[in-house]
Structure 1
Amino acid sequence: MIRDSLKAAQVAAMKGGDKPRTAAVRLILAKIKDRDIELRTSSATIDDDAMVTEVLQKMIKQRRESIAMYEQGGRAELAAQEASEVAIIEEFLPAQLDETAARAAIAAVVAETGASSLKDMGKVMAEVKARHASEIDMSKASGWVKEALAG
């Protein structure tokens, strides 16, 4: 499980005296704990690895947005710090499909759902997320789904 590897990485980073890595892993574990608390009130059950992957992907997206803003503002040192956190977070993500495989998976979903126009985008995106959320970057997937439905 991803959660176990995160806890082991935290212990290893602490023992190794790697303060930036320890801080990043603690931040990840805190976000996961926040998500656990949110899910206590909901009746939906979600696979632990899927939930952790979702949290990690959201954290990466937030950091990439921050990097862009820091670079625009001329704050290279803060952008570099965010980039190092992205690298640490990505270590714990399951392997992502490359673009070709992701497009093929999207094409398969489009064919199976019978989607034929952009009106069906919501239905296709929901199915792609249900099947491949941990394998495909959903921010890129929306563009690929648009291309698949338009083409």
Structure 2
Amino acid sequence: MAYWLFKTEPDEFSIDTLRVKGTACWDGIRNYQARNMIRDEMKVGDSVLIYHSSCKQIGVAGMATIIKEAYVDHFQFDIESDYYDAKSDPDNPRWLMVDIEFVEKFKRVLPLSVLKTMPELVEMPLVKRGNRLSVMPVTESEWQAILSRVAR
């Protein structure tokens, strides 16, 4: 089993949205490095931290599990979608997504400001300057350190 962090803007999709839906596709990934992780590394049963960004309370908000491995993100072919990609070929699609299932919403968001102070996370891409990836791997020790600090 692997561990991941998925960033989302809660105005678009939040841990509460996932809680209500129960399951959802994680779509709209338009970065090749993130796409490659989805394609090559994410597996059913992997655990995911849901991270709220670009909002008032930035930080880790809850957990999910991957329930379906990489498959074609059909929104790349939908001309009315924000995720439409005119250069993507249906015979060789560029973009993929996974399905996730709600596990838990934390009582409080664990803020980025706290994550940055944790010595166990010093090598985590999330706390390093300039990291813009919307999905990123989390080591088991980073996962445990984060879970030890969340309010459950």
If asked which structure has higher relative contact order (CA below 8 Å, sep 6+), I would say 2
Instruction: Report the structure, 1 or 2, having the larger strand content.
Output: 2
Q: What TM-score, normalized by structure 1, do the two folds share?
A: 0.24
Q: Which structure has the greater CA radius of gyration?
A: 1
Instruction: Report the structure, 1 or 2, having the larger helix content.
Output: 1
